[in-house]
Amino acid sequence: MSLFWIVIRRLAEIEAMAMSKKVITREEWEKKLNDVKIRKEDMNKLVMNFLVTEGYVDAAEKFRMESGTEPDIDLATITDRMAVKKAVQCGNVEDAIEKVNDLNPEILDTNPQLFFHLQQQRLIELIRNGKVEEALEFAQEELAPRGEENQSFLEELERTVALLAFEDVSNCPVGDLLDISQRLKTASEVNAAILTSQSHEKG
């Protein structure tokens, strides 16, 4: 049985237990976990997938050589993907967009939500840096037209622009947009899109 079906079966069991409100003991839980047998090949694929997704190039290469597990993508592409992710995490969104387009322009062309979120992050960075006029102009020229086409984009844009109404963002109800977690969320979305694109190229 593949790891995928084992996980699905376990989730179904957990959901069934939750629905029946049956409380199980720690010993029962550990026994159930011990009864689940995972093939070494499936575990190796899981480890390789983690190393590739998180960008551990050297570790993935060593693991490939030691375990014989082939990754779903060319390991050489990880460095480029991690450069994009790092740029977003550091707030260099324009640089990240350029890097994505260098890797594969279709990623942003075919994923309007991802492109909007990158542009939204760019707006957040302008606001963070106190560039109010530039932020308003950018929102009006780049994001407002997308908001007119998509209601959820419009709501996210309104939420982001609301940051400008507060001098003290610690009292702002949308202040979480300035948290580092917002950058990480956008970076993770870009990372996943590039990874998907690279997997399709290899497949």
Model confidence pLDDT, tens digit, residues 94-151: 999 999 999 999 999 999 999 999 999 999 999 999 999 999 999 999 999 998 889 9
Token pair 């047998």: residue: 37
Averaged pLDDT of the chain: 87
pLDDT tens digits for range 177-194: 999 999 999 999 999 999
Per-residue pLDDT at 122? 97
Neighbours of 140 (CB within 10 A): 11
How far is C-alpha 87 from the chain's CA centre?
14
Please report, rounded to a whole number, the percentage of residues in the chain having pLDDT higher than 70.
Answer: 88
Relative orientation angle of helices 180-202 and 112-128, to the nearest 10 degrees: 150
Per-residue pLDDT at 193? 95
